[in-house]
Structure 1
Amino acid sequence: MIPFNTMVVLCGTGLLGVVSGIIGSFAVLRRRALMGDALAHAALPGICLAFLILGERHLPALLLGALITGTVGVLVVTTLRHATRIKEDAAIGIVLSVFFGAGVVLLRVIQNMPSGNRAGLDHYIYGKAAGMVVQDVQWIGGVCLVVILAAVLLYKEFTLLSFDTAFAATLGWPTLRLDIVMMGLLVIVTVVGLPAVGVVMMAAMLIIPGASARFWTERLHVMLILAAVFGGLTGIVGTWLSATFSRLPAGPVIVLVAAAIFVVSMTFAPRRGILARTLSHVNLRRRTARQNLLRTMYELVERDLDARPAVTPAALTRLRAWTEPHARRLLAAGARVGLIERTSDGHFRLTDRGLLEAVGVVRTHRLWEMFLIEQAHIATDHVDRDADSIEHVLGADIIRDLEDRLVQLGRWPHGTARPPRSPHEIAVDGGVTP
């Protein structure tokens, strides 16, 4: 049976993770991830000032003070960015350091007061999730509901604002007001989350779930759902670990759980993860090398293609400026997949399958060459190099469009099985045997 207080904290941190993931995703997409950090640090002076004015720790008043100074911090960043030549990252750094410094000074003043030690305001720096009560969960739940409703009702507007603010402005949308609404939600979430995870850790709650979700999808609505799930898991698992292992502060543990989710996402995400991108890069290099080999062998024997003559590794090195060991490695790799066969005298020729694939490779290469000559006006003695840099990533739709366009211009034969001759001279200097 989970104790009631533990259940309260689990609900509070879970909801905080959900709402932080949703609003933080928009901040990440707008490249304003550090704005949450600036907001959290700018809120500390407001908390201290509210305590100094009231002389007691009254949570709504403390949160109101944090909201005011956090908003002031956002306005200062905006003013510095628009009224001066200071870039946004520098403006955020200025606000973050100055406001946090002021908060630390005020915190020291409070601690020197007779009632300062009982104020417990130092918990707002690192957070104290264990001290969360039902009222705190209600506050977080209300904010979570508001943010979810705003994300649903303003989904189209927030989407365009996140990806292309200038285009939204040309459509006549009130981009400034929408930006203020988005930043206002960010301020509110930051302020509400301070008692649980503190000034130092709140930025991580806003940034990491959205950044983690970005690795898994290209669709915004899926990213928002994943960010909410990651944020909720971060809060719940971090709180559970903190409660299970005594003397572990909840805020830092929550952030470490978020960091673990980020590392897993960064490493294992199917398209944008490190492993997937590495495998994709390796496969592209292998495909490029195989296609270059097939095209080179085709060009060497093109004049007598029906006889299917064999070529020597030395001929490949002369035409492609490869080293002979590299050429032999490529030939061996082609032989392993059945594209090339070795003759009895140690030479190499294309198999039926290899010839079929080579025809497709050469066709794509010469289509792109002709397009560059006709449309980009690249000289024929330079076009081979320019085509070589892009032909390996052309999709089937682009290839069909290229062929249709060149056929209409009368620069490409229609319906031929084999590609036409190269528009530039190919220097074949021996190394081809019957």
Structure 2
Amino acid sequence: METWWRALTFTLGYNTSLVTVGAMLLAAAAGMVGSFVLLRKRALVSDAISHSTLPGLALAFLVMGVWQGDGRVLPALLAGAAASAALGLWLVQRIGERTRLGEDAAIGAVLSTFFAFGVVLITVIQTLSVRGQSGLTGYLVGATAGMLYSEALLIAACAVGLLLALLVWRRDLLLLCFDADFARTQGFDTGRLDLLLLLLLMAVVVIGLKVTGLILVVALTIIPPVAARFWTDQPMRMVALAALLGALSGYLGVSLSSVREGLPTGPLIVLAAFTLFLVSFLFSPRRGVLASLLAYRRLRQRVHLRQGLLALGRDEPIFDGLTLKLLQRRGHVRRDGVATPAGLAAARDAEHEERLWALYRRRYPDDALHREHAGLTPIGQVLSADAIMALEAELPPAETAR
């Protein structure tokens, strides 16, 4: 526990602190890019890009190994991964444009082919006498334990560059995500904006290879934005919150991996992100499971109470247990089911309001469609006093006098 606390407070060591900051910046950038990708409804593209990096990574390792005897040179590996990912992305787009196949089919074909080719290359590399091949498999699931100072600094610098690029182009990308046709009419080159978004996504995937690996880096571009979506409807708030949740995932994952030697950093970062998603899924006050259950319970009680009062006003028997329980709790009926004077008064008010709502729906059917739960909400909270007086004047005399 003491080790974890030192990792949380950045006092465990310089290298650990540097890796933590780098992972936080990377996860924040992944959350921001993933938010735009999610709003653009192209989340699966990140999976294709990540798996397409493997053959380029392996080929770059082979080239550097033949050239200088050690293939583990991070800038060269990232450049090879980026070139391979760009080729995979180009193939996905061309297959979707030139054939009748959908984007999901193109992603599946490119993803499986590139990943299989990369696995073959890694198997071949393991049989060669080249230094560093033991660490190459770490790019599949991440390997921050052996991260050098220069590597951590490079990842942090690239993550900062990504964050700045997103801040510069955030408005153009949002317009593309929500209304590409309108953006086109306003003079925006939507093709270039789409390409820019995919290049930013590719950069996140390539940079994240060392931290979470190509298999798990997809989670950082999907889980934080999905979790952020539970908390807000505002797009820029969602982007900011996704960046915050991503950074928190990186912070918790790296600090947890420092508790004991051998704990994998990449999987722990993803598990931390999933924990934050689970908290959002369960406890979000807007769309969380708990909030939805409470809202359903409140709506159910309102329906039963309303129907119970209408039944009292019409002198109809009530058999439903929940309805009787709610009426007794409000003091509208006694234990034997007989209405109290207060209950009769509330029933007359409810019946009168129900007639007003019925008249309103007949007079203004289009407007009534946009009123959520019209009839359950008191009419005085929905319509103005003048509108209610106009409805009162239109009620038939027999109904008014009843």
Provide, for residues 259-314 of structure 1, a one-character-per-residue CA deviation record: whole Å limited to 9, x for no partner. Answer: 1111111100110111111111221222223233334544x3xxxxxxxxxx240x
**Relative to structure 1, is the Cα distance of residues 295 and 71 closer, same or farther in structure 2, using a 3 angstrom cutoff?**
farther
Partner secondary structure for residue 261 of structure 1: helix
**Relative to structure 1, is the Cα distance of residues 394 and 35 closer, same or farther in structure 2, using a 3 angstrom cutoff?**
farther
**Relative to structure 1, is the Cα distance of residues 388 and 331 closer, same or farther in structure 2, using a 3 angstrom cutoff?**
farther
The equivalent position to 2:395 in structure 1, one of 420, 423, 434, is 420
Provide, for residues 105-158 of structure 1, a one-character-per-residue CA deviation record: whole Å limited to 9, x for no partner. Answer: 111111111216645211111110112223223323332333222222222211
The equivalent position to 1:271 in structure 2, one of 259, 280, 286, is 286
Give identity over the alignment, percent: 35
- Could you tell me which residue of structure 2 aligns to residue 321 of structure 1? none
**Relative to structure 1, is the Cα distance of residues 344 and 246 closer, same or farther in structure 2, using a 3 angstrom cutoff?**
closer
- Could you tell me which residue of structure 2 aligns to residue 58 of structure 1? 73
- Could you tell me which residue of structure 2 aligns to residue 380 of structure 1? none
- Could you tell me which residue of structure 1 aligns to residue 210 of structure 2? 195
Shift of 1:389: 9.9
Would you say the 8 A contact 1:38–1:95 is kept in 2? yes
Q: What is the CA–CA distance in structure 1 between the aligned matches of 2:253 and 2:218, rounded to whole Å?
A: 16
**Relative to structure 1, is the Cα distance of residues 242 and 392 closer, same or farther in structure 2, using a 3 angstrom cutoff?**
farther
Shift of 1:387: 12
- Could you tell me which residue of structure 2 aligns to residue 236 of structure 1? 251
**Superposed counterparts of 1:11-26, under 5 Å:** 11-26=21-36
Provide, for residues 56-97 of structure 1, a one-character-per-residue CA deviation record: whole Å limited to 9, x for no partner. Answer: 222211111111111111122222222222222222222221
Deviates more, 1:237-246 or 1:140-149: 140-149
Partner secondary structure for residue 196 of structure 1: coil
Partner secondary structure for residue 244 of structure 1: coil
Q: What is the CA–CA distance in structure 2 between the aligned matches of 1:16 and 1:413, rounded to whole Å?
A: 60
2:393 counterpart of 1:400: no
Q: What is the CA–CA distance in structure 2 between the aligned matches of 1:107 and 1:387, rounded to whole Å?
A: 59
**Relative to structure 1, is the Cα distance of residues 391 and 247 closer, same or farther in structure 2, using a 3 angstrom cutoff?**
same
**Superposed counterparts of 1:2-151, under 5 Å:** 2-55=12-65, 56-115=71-130, 118=133, 120-151=135-166
Would you say the 8 A contact 2:52–2:85 is kept in 1? yes
2:319 counterpart of 1:325: yes
Provide, for residues 232-264 of structure 1, a one-character-per-residue CA deviation record: whole Å limited to 9, x for no partner. Answer: 111111111111022211111111111111111
Partner secondary structure for residue 109 of structure 2: helix
Q: What is the CA–CA distance in structure 1 between the aligned matches of 2:135 and 2:18, rounded to whole Å?
A: 20
The one-letter code of the counterpart of 1:35 is V
Shift of 1:414: 1.7
The one-letter code of the counterpart of 1:285 is R
**Relative to structure 1, is the Cα distance of residues 395 and 211 closer, same or farther in structure 2, using a 3 angstrom cutoff?**
farther
**Superposed counterparts of 1:209-224, under 5 Å:** 209-224=224-239
**Relative to structure 1, is the Cα distance of residues 119 and 156 closer, same or farther in structure 2, using a 3 angstrom cutoff?**
same
Shift of 1:348: 6.7
Would you say the 8 A contact 1:36–1:186 is kept in 2? yes
The equivalent position to 2:176 in structure 1, one of 161, 164, 178, is 161
Partner secondary structure for residue 263 of structure 2: coil
- Could you tell me which residue of structure 1 aligns to residue 298 of structure 2? 283
The one-letter code of the counterpart of 1:147 is L
Would you say the 8 A contact 1:368–1:391 is kept in 2? no
Uncovered stretches (5+) of structure 1, i.e. residues with no partner: 301-310, 314-323, 377-382, 405-411, 426-434
Q: What is the CA–CA distance in structure 2 between the aligned matches of 1:90 and 1:262, rounded to whole Å?
A: 28
The structure whose Rg is larger is: 1
The equivalent position to 2:327 in structure 1, one of 316, 334, 337, is 334
Would you say the 8 A contact 1:210–1:224 is kept in 2? yes
The equivalent position to 1:172 in structure 2, one of 161, 164, 187, is 187
Would you say the 8 A contact 1:413–1:420 is kept in 2? no
**Relative to structure 1, is the Cα distance of residues 357 and 325 closer, same or farther in structure 2, using a 3 angstrom cutoff?**
closer
2:359 counterpart of 1:366: yes
Q: Cα RMSD over matched residues?
A: 3.3
Uncovered stretches (5+) of structure 2, i.e. residues with no partner: 1-10, 66-70
**Relative to structure 1, is the Cα distance of residues 420 and 261 closer, same or farther in structure 2, using a 3 angstrom cutoff?**
same
Q: How many residues align?
A: 384
Deviates more, 1:388-397 or 1:253-262: 388-397
4+ aligned runs moved over 6 Å, structure 1: 386-389, 393-398
Would you say the 8 A contact 1:40–1:191 is kept in 2? yes
Partner secondary structure for residue 231 of structure 2: coil
Partner secondary structure for residue 341 of structure 1: coil
| TM-score using structure 1 length | 0.79
Provide, for residues 299-332 of structure 1, a one-character-per-residue CA deviation record: whole Å limited to 9, x for no partner. Answer: x3xxxxxxxxxx240xxxxxxxxxx532x64244
| TM-score using structure 2 length | 0.85
